[in-house]
Structure 1
Amino acid sequence: MKLFTQYNRINIAASIIVFVVGSVVFYFVLRAVLLKQLDESLHTEQTEIVSYVQMHNKLPEVVNAYNQQITYVVTHEPVSGTNYYSDKTREGDGIEMEWMRKLVFGITVAGKNYRVTVTKSQVETEDLLQMVIIVGAGMIALILLAGYVINRMVIKRLWKPFYKTVAEVEQYQLAKQQALQLSVSGVSEFDLLNQQLTKMTDRAQQDYLVVKEFSANAAHEMQTPLAVIRTNTEALMQDEYVLQQHDKSIQTICQSVNRLTRLNHDLLLLARIENNQFPRQQKIELDKIIQQKTTELAELLASKKLRYQGYLEPVQISCNPHLAEVIVNNLLSNAIRYNKEDGIIKIALTPQQMIVSNTSLLPALEKDKISQRFYRHPDTKADGNGLGLSIVKQVCTVTGFTLQYDYQQGLHIFSITF
């Protein structure tokens, strides 16, 4: 979940809670204020009635208005205290029941006890309360909506430098040996982030160059000792006495030297590809390269009892000739090395893609790991070094091709889209 989305959710939830609670509190506070004003009006009427009785020793004449009524009821006992309350009653000849605010108090006139009830209509108060609540709630809702829209626009604009930095980092490739260029946003936090990212990528690039140079130099320097070991091992194999005494040891040395030679060759090839030492691209006929490789490997296919099925269309692609041979050779070598007896190898070539499929005793491989260096399935034979598919992937990257892997109906399928 994006930070902006999470912030909006919290902000909206808090705004709704504030809106609801504020509206309820505002309603009850305003209602209490309006009722207090109405009670003060009723109290004024009470004061006038008491004053009139004190001056004339009789009750004032009842004059009922539209929104006010006064009634006198004789009681046997004096009415104590003063009571304010609201009640629904029918006003005059009206049919609908309306809210009325009532004041009840007792008074003694000429030796008689009376209960006086002063009633005022509460309808205007309720209408005013309703109108004020609607206007107030509308204003609050409008303010919250405006705040949300403004926050959304402002925050989106403020975070624009961050997403620009993310886009630059996504496009950055360490192997291209290009410095990461991040613009100045004017926001201190984002500028600090850009500075640290630039320093980090510079350090990573320096470390990468050191490691790459070391691996290339190491692989290059290993060629001479390997050649010496191979030459002396072959010389030992010519000595029948030594061969009889140390046959297994010499064979083990030969196998190890061969594996180390292949590993050295592959590492050097990877270093050359990463250093863009195959810049020259030209139109090549890929179908002829495949035919040539399958012809060269025909005896190996026959010795392992593998059936080859080719569906090749005449295809020309723009690629370095040597790299094209590397792709075909590595995919075919893997298809042969990890195949099973009486297995099948299929190659389909169209102007859009090349598909190499093969049977195998191995189950499906992990798609996200097949192009990693030295990755091998646990059940893989020990003679592989795990660099073949990594080389194919690197060649596809520098030539603009796409490598995909799939496993269907017992076939390992490698597709290269041009």
Structure 2
Amino acid sequence: MSAAAGPQRAWRVAPGGSLRGELRVPGDKSISHRAVMLGALARGETRITGLLEGADVLATVGAFRQLGVAIEGPRQGAATIQGAGREGLRAPSAPLDVGNSGTSMRLLAGLLAGLPFEAVLTGDASLNRRPMGRVTEPLAAMGARIGTAEGGTAPLRLHAGGELHGIDYTLPVASAQVKSALLLAGLHAAGRTCVREPAPTRDHTERMLTGFGYPVAVQGRTACLDGGGALTATAVDVPGDLSSAAFLLVGASIAPGSELVLRHVGWNPTRTGAVTILRQMGADIEVLREGETSGEPVADLRVRSAPLHGIRIPEALVPLAIDEFPALLIAAACAEGETLLTGAEELRVKESDRIAVMAEGLRRLGVAAEPRADGLRLVGQPRLAGGVRLDSHGDHRIAMAFAVAALRAQAPVQVDDCENVGTSFPGFVSLMGQAGLEIQALPAAGA
């Protein structure tokens, strides 16, 4: 069940159909968060275009307003931030509530560590159940005075003071959020901070720091920076979110007669794992045009329907597609043969236990799905069952994945508890409707 109060929106999705047209998905969530954070830390005026106006990013905007930062917008993806440097941040008068946004909480923990005032980071009941030790423990090793609730979860309490010093740290589990939190703490730590990762993760923080004039040394899987510098305001253009595009890429791949073009999508090589996996399954995805905006690669993508086959997903690609697995598992459910996902323990501690929740929903759709500690084994079906209600457990990416599954279902699919889709993909229902998915928003789950 979702932790949010009140009735939760549900969707009824008609079976079958195809996806066609040219679309632009909302702005990249990861880049949007970082643009707001670094703009707030920079000196001068930062102008952002293409900003995602989802609940998670708006939570970050709200947190910085509580910290005394003047932010105009966002309106139609445009926002202006008057940055005053880290010393311009002010003590919040109340806890910083970031809702369901794990990115906000973990990155803010690093950014606020060692400040001369106390701050409390909290979220909704779902976020406050997620483990935070992987970020609080290395921050404490840097000198941060940071406390957690029992069990190492939020609320996080950052105490005043605590002189930070650089750290040379190897992540036990690949995580862009933890890496970013430590680099943000390192901006204001004495000496050099280096973070090594066991597998590549998204590098938006490193790229954006460079764009704000702060040098970051990257060699292989190690990123280092020296504390004590300053960020200079700049303009940031946020491309479309490849994680959001994944639902359309999967939908068009599995629905016969589909052809979609997705414009100005972020094409960062640390984010393209989902496309690589889909191509290994037989998907017809073509890069039409490549470019760069604000230091981030972008591209237009064309996808056409194609017969898919099951694969053993390479573990090296898992960190590069970690947010896209709800969508990818729908592709696997419609592929011929067996798909095996391993090395994905991280999915257990997302907005829901995505391994368990996806396995439960896939079985209701008639797919043989066997959850494992670190992944899932499933055998695809030519047609999915339908005529079922699926519980997304308040997880935005699972709700969208189950909606896309209806393209291969034999009867309508109802998806319950969809309210949190607004955290990452506002306008999902209308955009998917433009592409050809017959999806109806219901007033409440159980309607």
Structure with the larger RCO, 1 or 2 (CA within 8 Å, 6+ apart): 2
**Whose radius of gyration is greater, 1 or 2?**
1
What's the TM-score bracket when you normalise by the shorter of the two chains? under 0.3
User: What's the TM-score once normalised by structure 1's chain length?
Assistant: 0.22
TM-score using structure 2 length: 0.21
